[in-house]
Chains A and B, each alone.
Chain A
Amino acid sequence: MSAPRHQIVIADTAETYLCGEDETLLKAMERLNRKGIPVGCRGGGCGICKVQITAGDCLRRRMSRAHVSVEDEARGIGLACCLLPQSDVTLQVLGQLRAPVLAAQSRWKT
């Protein structure tokens, strides 16, 4: 990989990994078999991998407005599958999969 790589810190778990400028925060985490950011569609659509960048800069690919508002964007919130680091980055995880379904069958009692 020729693109510069940057250190990513997931503040919630203190997990760190390297991510190239030309790949997304989520893709590098998955490629290195690291954990911390929940993985959903990987295309900016489902909102599962929502994070807040608390330090550093990222390029942003287009992502669903249903999950990231203009105000969110101004606060550094985005989907990790659409963020490409341009410096070292520290982030906090905002998105989550729901609790395991068998423990949460009440989810269906809407």
Chain B
Amino acid sequence: MALSAVLRPGHVGLRVLDLDAALKHYRDSLGLIETARDAQGRIYLKGWDELDWFSVVLREADAPGMDYMAFKVLNATHLARYEAALKAFGCKVECIPAGELAHCGERVRFDSPTGHVFELYCEKEVYGNGMGRQNPNPWVEGLKGMQAQRFDHCLIYGDDLDGTVKLFREVLEFDLTERVMEGDLMVGAFLCCSNKAHDLALIRHPEKAKLHHVSFLLGSWEEVLRAADLISMHDISLDIGPTRHGITRGRTIYFFDPSGNRNEVFSGDYTWYPDHEPITWTTDQLGRAIFFHDRQLNEKFLSVVT
């Protein structure tokens, strides 16, 4: 198989301080579609062009951040294979029964050397994108806000970057697409299970289990600029942008949800294939690697995490 049996980022569980404020942000500003609520009070959302039932789960808590990030796997055979490999790698693995998250099958939850919690699953009910699979229209009407198409990736911060990169490359068959090197030390890693510039990114950081941002895909640079308008129109906390990343080539803008979790909406990268050589960035050029236009590092962007 040319690509991994891990298909894509499937969902992310986020903690928020105020569920109503978070719903307003993710539904009305990002334009995600609310698709379910459960007995625990969790709210489920998805991007308009995602077919599965949800990709974001919001939970009210006393500290924001990421509970878990999950990847969808091709089928049960591969899920069982990965589960065994995760145990052999030394991960703490836990099976969460189908239905614990509404509309989702059994999830294989595991920890990682950077302290982040991840999950794999292979079944989730189809909600659809509103256009059907026969002779469909190209887009749906009546969307809100930034009209995010899908949950795309997360950037996470943690201490044992080498360990988590090894886990994803050796056990889950991800490719390293880009890396940031401080001499011999890898300080940034961009990992992919598909054809994208990244499905998961990591930055080395002294604390474990931190979230830098959750990213959503838009259709064009014009839509990124329109998102920038909405950030001011809705008085959303802006971080930085609109700008261009050197790393991954994304055209991007960053902002915060009402609890301080950073979001990105972006457009454009490139097509990755597993025979490509990874791209290497050196920290003496880190300014243009991160912000290709300003070519200046931004301490807030690098330091603020939840």
Contacts and interface: CB of A to CB of B under 8 A. Distances in A.
B283 interface: yes
Contacts of A63: 17
A87 to B, nearest CB: 25
B187 A64 contact: no
B294 to A, nearest CB: 14
A64 B204 contact: no
Contacts of B159: 110
A108 B64 contact: no
Contacts of B286: 101-102
B98 interface: no
Interface residues of A, number: 25
Nearest to B18: A62
Interface stretch (B146-154, B221-229, B253-261): B253-261
Given A64-B62, A98-B303, A105 B256 contact: no
B260 A110 contact: no
Contacts of A66: 63, 65
B84 interface: no
B97 interface: no
Contacts of B237: 41-43
A92 B259 CA distance: 23
Interface in A93-110: 97-98, 100-102, 105, 107-110
A102 B259 contact: no
A44 B259 contact: yes
A48 interface: yes
Contact of B257 (A39, A43, A98, A110): A43
Given A45-B261, A107-B206, A101 B62 contact: no
B299 A64 contact: no
B37 to A, nearest CB: 21
B261 to A, nearest CB: 6
Interface in B207-243: 237, 239
Nearest to B290: A101
Nearest to A62: B17
A18 B286 CA distance: 39
Contacts of A109: 182, 185
B302 interface: yes
Given A41-B262, A41-B306, A46-B306, A65 B62 contact: yes
Given A63-B17, A64-B17, A42 B256 contact: yes
A41 B262 CA distance: 8
Contacts of B305: 46
Residue from B256, B262, B303 having most chain A Cβ neighbours under 10 A: B303
Interface in B185-214: 185, 187, 204-206
Interface in B1-49: 17-18
Nearest to A63: B17
Contacts of A39: 300
Given A43-B258, A65-B62, A108 B204 contact: yes
Nearest to B17: A62
Interface of A: 39-46, 48, 62-67, 97-98, 100-102, 105, 107-110
15 contacts: A40-B304, A41-B256, A41-B306, A44-B260, A46-B304, A48-B300, A63-B17, A64-B17, A64-B63, A98-B299, A101-B302, A102-B297, A105-B182, A105-B283, A108-B185
Nearest 7 CB-CB pairings of A with B? A45-B260, A41-B260, A43-B260, A42-B237, A66-B63, A65-B62, A45-B64
